Structure 1
Amino acid sequence: MSEILLTASEPALSLAIEANFTEEMACFARNLPGAILHDEPEITWFFLNPTGPNGVLHAQFETSDPEMLTMRITKLLTSFQEQQASGLNWRVTPNTKPELLTSLLQQNGFAHRETQTCMILSASSITTPATLPPGLQIREVRTLAELQQKCDIEQIGFEASNEVREQYYQAYTGTGIGPDSHFHHYIAWLHEEPVAVSALLLHRGVAGIYGITTLPTYRRQGIANALTLYTVQEAQRLGYQFVTLSPTKMSHALYRRLGFTDYCQFHHYYHRF
């Protein structure tokens, strides 16, 4: 496990946050049958299956020559076409190099698809324990049966297909669960009924929170708020100073109230075959 980042120095913090988001997706590429993870200093990309998601997670090319860069883009597109991929997503971050890469992507058939906000919080700013609603308990997932329950809640909360649910289960089991893993999973239990989930990924010296969702029937009861604070405090307990996450439009305001601030944006460009 990499050394924990203790100061907000740049570009170390920015690179660590990007690497944490990259690792979350890489867990799928490492553990799903037939998936490919290609990781080298200049570029990291993954292929899960023809329908995706598939894409480039990180790119820092040493060259700024447009012709050379176009050749790299074309070669990668050809590789994904040979895998019969339906499309390719390319993530552009503040650390993507060179700057002209975005315009070259657009010239080669990529179109802007979405902008993803990354938020950050200093875990030490949370000084009081999370207040849990009456009857709520939060416990780390330690068995495969509990992991199945977590995936069930994710599927309902995110309205995912059976295929996606199975992909998450395989990725989680392949990565490992429990206190010895760098990927921790939590379930919130209300009167011993599983109602909400979260995950904490420890990588490159920062802690990333992923997959917070509550069953529709139990929303607007303060459960997501309590679970988020609990997960932050778990990161703090494990020695981590910086916590990052990416909000949805609906959850952005919630995380702001908890002390998270907007830190950077990832821009996603998509090429459809």
Structure 2
Amino acid sequence: MALTNDHVEAAVRAYADTCESLARAATTGRARRGPRGAVLAISGAPVASLNAIISPALEPDADEIADLADSAKEAGFPWSIQVRGEPTPLVTEVAAAHGLTRRNAMPLMIRWPDEGPPPQSDHGALRVRAVPADQLGAYTRLLEDGFEAPHGTFEVMASPSLAEMPGITFYLAEVDGVPVGTGMASVSEDLLGIFNITTLPRYRRRGYGRALTLEIAREGYVAGATTAYLYASKMGARVYESAGFRTEEHLTAISA
């Protein structure tokens, strides 16, 4: 597993900030920030990765995480602790005290400015459009289909207020007007975070995921971003590599 790199800390902090903002805007969400910058972001969704303590620091403060962990547990949802690289023994001890022992490594992939502006997608049939606030409920249902999750899993993220957040855009990918995938962008100064990239099961292996990622990146660069980042699944890493993203480090999520 790759070690952590301090030159990517800005991207990790942007990721934590986005999670915090989304949690505050979600219908059942709440958020809190520790004195050293760790973020507690509770969306209220029944998914551990969406109710998380995220430490962007190269050396996480176990005491800060322990303090936030009490609030995370009280919220009553599945939750996780997310740290860069391998958890320290003290962080591991805090997690285990709350029954969190399962680890999942998520590669942080970055598209650096020297890659140049993202090219326009050559997938002529694919159209990518922003989702207005009144269609966010339909978007979350498609997101559930893309992740093959039970309907209702992301219901708390369907609040129209999320679509009104500065810098946040939700996207649908469509072919001949038929939805085939989803995505989300978070632009903060020169950083573009890409989230929620899915392709519906019956439309996979046609290049739609790569084309959607490039189109979201292109729009983010038009909005002023010069560097794009995302956290990938192991299965999706090759797709993002083909779009100019490179793995820089890993985020370890510890859950029950």
- Where on the TM-score scale, by shorter chain, does this alignment land: which range? 0.7 to 0.9
Q: Which amino acid aligns with 1:46?
A: A
Q: Which amino acid aligns with 1:55?
A: A
Q: Secondary structure at the match of 1:160?
A: coil
What is the TM-score of this pair, normalised by structure 2?
0.80
How far apart, CA to CA, are the structure 2 residues paired with 1:38 and 1:87? 17
CA contact (8 A) 1:92 1:266 kept: yes
CA contact (8 A) 1:28 1:167 kept: no
Structure 2 gaps, min length 5: none
Aligned to 2:76: 85
CA contact (8 A) 2:9 2:57 kept: no
Aligned to 1:264: 249
User: Is the deviation greater in 206-215 or in 188-197?
Assistant: 188-197
Relative to structure 1, the CA distance from residue 262 to residue 61 in structure 2 (aligned partners, 3 Å threshold; closer, same or farther) is closer
How far apart, CA to CA, are the structure 1 residues paired with 2:139 and 2:175? 14
CA contact (8 A) 1:19 1:204 kept: no
Percent identity of equivalent pairs: 21
Aligned to 2:213: 228
Q: Secondary structure at the match of 1:164?
A: coil
Q: Of residues 148, 163, 179 in structure 2, which corresponds to 1:176?
A: 163
Write the deviation string for residues 194-213 of structure 1: whole angstroms up to 9, x where unpaired: 22221111136411101111
Aligned to 2:197: 212
How far apart, CA to CA, are the structure 1 residues paired with 2:91 and 2:205? 40
Matched, 1:240 2:225: yes
1:85 Cα shift? 2.9
Aligned to 1:160: 149
How far apart, CA to CA, are the structure 2 residues paired with 1:84 and 1:128? 40
How far apart, CA to CA, are the structure 2 residues paired with 1:261 and 1:190? 28
Write out aligned runs for 1:71-150 (5 A): 75-81=67-73, 83=74, 85=76, 88-93=79-84, 101-105=90-94, 108=97, 110-123=100-113, 125-127=115-117, 129-145=119-135, 147-150=136-139
Relative to structure 1, the CA distance from residue 249 to residue 25 in structure 2 (aligned partners, 3 Å threshold; closer, same or farther) is same
How far apart, CA to CA, are the structure 2 residues paired with 1:74 and 1:162? 33
Aligned to 1:203: 188
Matched, 1:46 2:41: yes
1:35 Cα shift? 3.0
CA contact (8 A) 2:133 2:163 kept: no
CA contact (8 A) 2:12 2:56 kept: no
Q: Which amino acid aligns with 1:122?
A: W
Could you say what the CA RMSD is over the residues aligned between the two structures, in angstroms?
3.2
Aligned to 1:17: 11
CA contact (8 A) 1:153 1:214 kept: no
Relative to structure 1, the CA distance from residue 52 to residue 250 in structure 2 (aligned partners, 3 Å threshold; closer, same or farther) is closer
Q: Secondary structure at the match of 2:153?
A: helix
Relative to structure 1, the CA distance from residue 79 to residue 122 in structure 2 (aligned partners, 3 Å threshold; closer, same or farther) is closer
Q: Which amino acid aligns with 1:209?
A: I
How far apart, CA to CA, are the structure 2 residues paired with 1:50 and 1:252? 25
Relative to structure 1, the CA distance from residue 94 to residue 203 in structure 2 (aligned partners, 3 Å threshold; closer, same or farther) is farther
Q: Which amino acid aligns with 2:31?
A: L
1:129 Cα shift? 3.2
How far apart, CA to CA, are the structure 2 residues paired with 1:254 and 1:140? 22
How far apart, CA to CA, are the structure 1 residues paired with 2:200 and 2:106? 24
Relative to structure 1, the CA distance from residue 126 to residue 150 in structure 2 (aligned partners, 3 Å threshold; closer, same or farther) is farther
Write the deviation string for residues 211-261 of structure 1: whole angstroms up to 9, x where unpaired: 111122222222112111111111211111110011112211111122110
1:158 Cα shift? 0.6
Write the deviation string for residues 107-154 of structure 1: whole angstroms up to 9, x where unpaired: 745425211110000255245632343432222223523x33322321
Would you identify which runs of 4 or more consecutive aligned residues in structure 1 move more than 6 Å? 61-64
Q: Secondary structure at the match of 1:267?
A: strand
Larger radius of gyration: 1
Q: Which amino acid aligns with 1:267?
A: T
What is the TM-score of this pair, normalised by structure 1?
0.76
